[in-house]
């Protein structure tokens, strides 16, 4: 009869069960045990649990837990299951060695966990936008946002000429696709239909231009998916102005409709600006064109996009 050699090495007894670590354990297995023990220890410490407390809650011996954390014990699945349950951890996370976080990752996670929901979306989006792998390509497309009368068309054309890139007005693209004027697009397709056309046109502009200056309608910020598409693919500048300047510029363009019921129109304009300000503020740069000549505003815009 062949001789059966006993296993040697550290061992831990648990309810009559002997859990040993063989001398034949591969280096990879040893590293796995050490990594597993480290994650168990970090999870325990993160929850403020002493070893004795966790052992009691998991119904395992403190000795077994100490050896596990030190990477000196083979793992009993049933005992490990008790520990995972006591720690409240996903099983796969504890077993996956790739789940180990750096100090920086843990700090970022803790920071994000304590942010209110409305700030979390903003912070995560800015991280994606500013550190995404397409950041260089994004900055070659300049998008001007803001209410009508902010100077998007005037400044956009001038900037495009200086940069020697195409200038695109998204409203004109919408009219071209709809086959009618902008107001008629609303009448024919409704608000939802207009927004669908707007998104298709924006997607086409982004896909068709590596370098471009584009002006977009002021209401695009109210459509989250389309606005996020713009922010993700273009260096966005909010051209803002005082409500009175918005109104006077629109009138100077020959549109006297806003003057009907002027006081009410001005109040509506103020409320629109207040409501949209959180969305406009997501832009990469903000330029106030109030009391500025086109040349002065263009200088600020040029500095913003070439910084």
Let me know if residue 206 belongs to a domain: yes
Quick one: pLDDT at residue 129?
Answer: 60
Q: Among the three residues 52, 76, 102, which one is the final residue of a domain in this structure?
A: 102
Quick one: pLDDT at residue 64?
Answer: 83
Q: What is the CATH number of the domain that holds 212?
A: 3.40.50.300
Q: Among the three residues 102, 127, 155, which one is the final residue of a domain in this structure?
A: 102
User: Alpha helix locations (H) across 47-116?
Assistant: 51-58, 62-69, 77-87, 91-95, 103-113
CB atoms near residue 15 (< 10 Å): 10
Q: Are residues 180 and 82 in the same domain?
A: no
CB atoms near residue 40 (< 10 Å): 22
Q: What is the pLDDT along the chain (307 residues), one digit of tens a residue?
A: 444 333 444 444 444 444 444 444 467 667 777 877 887 887 787 777 888 888 888 888 888 888 888 887 665 655 666 776 777 666 555 555 444 556 666 677 777 777 777 777 677 666 666 665 466 788 899 999 998 888 899 999 999 999 999 999 999 999 998 888 888 888 888 888 889 999 999 999 999 999 999 999 989 998 988 999 999 899 999 999 888 887 777 766 655 444 445 667 778 888 888 888 999 999 999 999 888 888 999 999 999 998 7
Q: How many residues can be counted in the chain?
A: 307
Q: Are residues 81 and 193 in the same domain?
A: no
d(C-alpha 305, C-alpha 146), whole Å: 16
Count of domains forming the chain:
2
Quick one: pLDDT at residue 11?
Answer: 44
Q: Are residues 234 and 302 in the same domain?
A: yes
Q: Are residues 163 and 20 in the same domain?
A: no
Cβ proximity of 169 and 177 under 8 Å: no
Helix axes 224-233, 182-208, angle to 10 degrees: 40
Q: Are residues 47 and 170 in the same domain?
A: no
CB atoms near residue 81 (< 10 Å): 12
Let me know if residue 25 belongs to a domain: yes
Distance from CA of residue 82 to its chain's centroid?
37
Q: Are residues 298 and 150 in the same domain?
A: yes
Q: Are residues 74 and 177 in the same domain?
A: no
Cβ proximity of 197 and 185 under 8 Å: yes
Q: Are residues 58 and 167 in the same domain?
A: no
Question: What is the 3 state secondary structure string of 185-220?
Answer: HHHHHHHHHHHHHHHHHHHHHHHHCCCEEEECCHHH
Q: Are residues 144 and 288 in the same domain?
A: yes
On whether the pTM is more than 0.75, the answer is no
Q: Are residues 182 and 245 in the same domain?
A: yes
Q: Among the three residues 51, 74, 102, which one is the final residue of a domain in this structure?
A: 102
Cβ proximity of 49 and 34 under 8 Å: no
Q: What is the CATH number of the domain that holds 98?
A: 1.10.260.40
Let me know if residue 74 belongs to a domain: yes
* Residue ranges making up the domain that contains 259: 138-306
């Amino acid at each position: 009869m062949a001789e059966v050699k006993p296993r040697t090495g550290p061992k831990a007894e648990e309810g009559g069960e002997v859990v040993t670590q063989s001398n034949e354990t591969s280096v990879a297995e040893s590293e796995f045990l050490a990594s597993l023990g480290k994650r168990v220890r970090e999870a325990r410490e993160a929850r403020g649990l002493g070893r004795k407390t966790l052992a009691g809650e998991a119904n395992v011996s403190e000795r077994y837990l100490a050896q596990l954390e030190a990477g000196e014990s083979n793992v009993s699945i049933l005992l490990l299951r008790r520990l995972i349950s006591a720690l409240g951890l996903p099983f796969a996370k504890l077993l996956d060695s790739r789940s180990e976080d750096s100090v920086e990752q843990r700090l970022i996670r803790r920071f994000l966990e304590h942010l209110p929901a409305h700030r979390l979306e903003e912070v995560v989006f800015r991280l994606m936008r500013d550190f995404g792998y397409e950041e260089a390509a994004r900055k070659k497309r300049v998008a001007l946002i803001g209410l009508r009368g902010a100077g998007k068309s005037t400044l956009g054309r001038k900037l495009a000429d200086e940069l020697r890139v195409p200038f695109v007005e998204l409203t004109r693209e919408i009219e071209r696709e709809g086959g009618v004027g902008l107001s008629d697009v609303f009448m024919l397709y409704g608000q939802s239909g207009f927004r669908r056309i707007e998104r298709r046109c924006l997607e086409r502009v982004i896909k068709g231009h590596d370098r471009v200056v584009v002006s977009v309608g002021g209401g695009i910020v109210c459509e989250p998916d389309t606005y996020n598409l713009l922010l993700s693919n273009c260096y966005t500048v909010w051209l803002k102005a005082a409500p009175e300047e918005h109104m006077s510029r629109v009138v100077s363009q020959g549109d006297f409709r806003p003057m009907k019921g002027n006081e009410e129109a001005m109040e509506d304009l103020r409320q629109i600006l207040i409501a949209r300000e959180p969305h406009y503020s997501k832009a990469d740069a903000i330029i106030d064109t109030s009391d500025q000549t086109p040349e002065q505003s263009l200088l600020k815009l040029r500095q913003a996009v070439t910084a």
